């Protein structure tokens, strides 16, 4: 590894910068004087808050917002569940995401591939007579791993009470 040398000084206390590593770092075991600390804090105060030209610009605007952002992948994980961006799905949440396990189950019930079902959700052109999961229906992960959304790991219950009964039976079966 090469050691980098910089020939510059601190603008406040004029401390010279030498090798930038460990004990050779220009600020190793040294501190700014009270006078230079005051100048530094005053300089930072001049550009903080509303005086800063970038104040309030922390949100991305225009062409880099949402799906146009270079890091957008079409899905994210929330509390262990994989959420897919599906803006035209009737059960999409406020940020236009739908839980992947619900999409997998809907695709299975409609005998369509998951990829095609998601494309319907992106374009908003669902065929007629498709079956969406109701608000009451619960999709259960058999191995209880929330991001394991394989069809053989999913089980559909018609409501929450059926789902709870299943868990109670499973619990008592495992204890005995």
Query: What was the pLDDT predicted at 162?
Result: 93
Q: Which residues contact 109 (CB under 8 A, 6 or more apart)?
A: 131, 133
Q: What are the Cα distances from residue 66, in Å, to 56, 89, 96, 111, 140?
A: 18, 17, 11, 31, 30
Report DSSP state, residue 18.
Answer: -
Query: What was the pLDDT predicted at 72?
Result: 77
Q: Which residues pair with 5 in a beta bridge?
A: 19
Q: Which residues pair with 99 in a beta bridge?
A: 83
Q: Which residues of the chain have pLDDT under 70?
A: 1-30, 43-62, 65-66, 175-176
Q: Which residues pair with 154 in a beta bridge?
A: 141
Q: What is the pLDDT of residues 114-136, one digit of tens each?
A: 999 888 888 888 888 999 999 99
φ, ψ of residue 157 to 5 degrees: the values are -115, 145
Q: How far is CA 15 from the centre of its chain?
A: 43
82, 149 Cβ separation under 8 angstroms: yes
Domain ranges of the chain: 73-175
Query: What was the pLDDT predicted at 135?
Result: 92
The residue length of the chain stands at 176
What span, in angstroms and rounded, lies between the C-alpha atoms of 121 and 159? 24
Report DSSP state, residue 129.
Answer: T
Tell me the whole-structure pTM to 2 decimals: 0.60
């Amino acid at each position: 590894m090469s050691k980098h040398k910089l020939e510059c000084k601190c603008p406040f206390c004029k401390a010279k910068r030498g090798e930038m590593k460990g004990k050779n770092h220009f600020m190793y075991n040294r501190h700014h004087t009270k006078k230079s600390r005051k100048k530094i804090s005053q300089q930072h105060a001049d550009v903080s808050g509303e005086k800063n030209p970038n104040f309030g610009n922390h949100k991305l605007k225009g062409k880099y917002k949402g799906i146009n952002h270079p890091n957008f992948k079409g899905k994210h994980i929330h509390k262990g569940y994989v959420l897919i961006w599906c803006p035209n799905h009737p059960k999409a949440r406020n940020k236009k995401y739908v839980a992947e396990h619900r999409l997998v189950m809907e695709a299975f019930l409609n005998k369509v591939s998951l990829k095609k079902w998601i494309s319907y959700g992106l374009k908003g052109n669902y065929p007629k007579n498709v079956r969406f999961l109701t608000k009451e229906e619960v999709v259960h992960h058999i191995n209880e791993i929330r991001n394991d959304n394989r069809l053989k790991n999913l089980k559909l219950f018609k409501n929450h009470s059926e789902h709870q009964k299943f868990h109670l039976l499973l619990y008592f079966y495992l204890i005995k």
